């Protein structure tokens, strides 16, 4: 597995500079959380890494090659992107929806494709949902099914934009466990998160963005220190509790 890197990446959207000079490396087998205030450029960075936004300056590389040079399908095989919207336009079955994950491979009906689809469905506890229709599922079930779609493509990296935002606590923990399992299998997981406690307790590494720039980058304990939170969010706060079970206490 190869690293996904950005090198002096800058880009604008709607005439506004949203990312400035971002240089970072995402490693396979690791969960990286991208956090930051609203408008910090988190989703833009994720989309640029997925090859969906083009760099104004600098570049995004996978295995040392610019992703803009990858054919569409090859890029799609390597990078599984899970958008924030969670849109499912038509009331298709769960099985058909997950099978879309094999589209870049073009083998949803082959033995190999079917096996990948079944593995993804089982990994996300969707076996009982297999023949249900997407619009009949709860928000948590839809979240799992959409992630199963990405997993079915067996990508090297999963890039998920706020995958936990609409979920209750139990479904959040459930999905986090699945992301950890993916990382344990060698996939790189890059998640945009708003909940700093989730990032602190479950990410291997945290990248903090502020106004399109990297404010801090590293292990959660250092990247999300009280000082960084004060500088970036302008909030006085302290972490309490044990490692992997920390809570953020706001003091102002």
Q: How many residues in the shown chain lie near other proteins by CB under 8 A?
A: 38
By the rule CB under 8 A, 97 interacts with other proteins: yes
Cα–Cα dist 141/108, whole Å:
22
By the rule CB under 8 A, 90 interacts with other proteins: yes
- Quick one: which of 3, 103, 123, 166 contacts other proteins (CB under 8 A)? 103
By the rule CB under 8 A, 52 interacts with other proteins: yes
By the rule CB under 8 A, 41 interacts with other proteins: no
User: Binding segment for other proteins among 97-105, 179-187, 218-226, 238-246 (CB under 8 A)?
Assistant: 97-105
Of residues 66 through 85, those in contact with other proteins by CB under 8 A are 72-73, 75-77, 79-83, 85
Distances (CA, A) of 85 to 36, 50, 166, 233: 19, 16, 10, 25
By the rule CB under 8 A, 239 interacts with other proteins: no
Question: What is the per-residue DSSP string for 166-195?
Answer: T--HHHHHHHHHHHHHHHHTT-EEEEE-S-
Distances (CA, A) of 250 to 72, 219, 229, 242, 246: 45, 21, 10, 17, 13
By the rule CB under 8 A, 55 interacts with other proteins: no
Helix, strand, coil in percent for the chain, rounding step 5: 40, 30, 35
By the rule CB under 8 A, 195 interacts with other proteins: no
Residue 9 corresponds to which tokens in the numbers above? Answer: 């990446």
List residues binding other proteins (CB under 8 A). Answer: 13-14, 47, 50-53, 72-73, 75-77, 79-83, 85, 87-93, 95-97, 99-101, 103-104, 109, 133, 146, 149, 153
């Amino acid at each position: 597995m190869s690293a996904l890197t950005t090198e002096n990446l800058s880009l604008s959207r709607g005439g506004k500079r949203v990312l400035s000079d971002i240089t970072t490396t995402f490693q396979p087998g690791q969960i990286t959380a991208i956090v930051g205030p609203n408008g910090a450029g988190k989703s833009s960075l994720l989309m640029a890494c997925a090859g969906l936004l083009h760099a104004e300056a600098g570049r995004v590389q996978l295995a040392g090659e610019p992703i803009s040079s990858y054919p569409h399908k090859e890029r799609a095989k390597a990078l599984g992107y899970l958008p924030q919207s969670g849109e499912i336009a038509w009331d298709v079955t769960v099985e058909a929806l997950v099978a879309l994950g094999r589209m870049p491979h073009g083998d949803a009906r082959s033995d190999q494709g079917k096996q990948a689809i079944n593995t993804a469905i089982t990994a996300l506890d969707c076996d009982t949902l297999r023949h249900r229709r997407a619009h009949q599922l709860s928000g948590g079930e839809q979240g799992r099914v959409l992630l199963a779609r990405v997993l079915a493509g067996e990508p090297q990296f999963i890039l998920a934009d706020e995958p936990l935002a609409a979920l209750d606590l139990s479904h959040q923990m459930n999905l986090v466990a699945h992301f950890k399992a993916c990382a344990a299998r060698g996939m790189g997981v890059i998640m945009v998160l708003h909940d700093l406690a989730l990032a602190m307790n479950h990410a291997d590494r945290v990248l903090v963005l502020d106004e399109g720039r990297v404010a801090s980058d590293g292990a959660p304990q250092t990247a999300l220190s009280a000082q960084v939170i004060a500088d970036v969010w302008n909030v006085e706060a302290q972490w309490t509790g044990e490692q992997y079970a920390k809570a953020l206490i706001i003091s102002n």
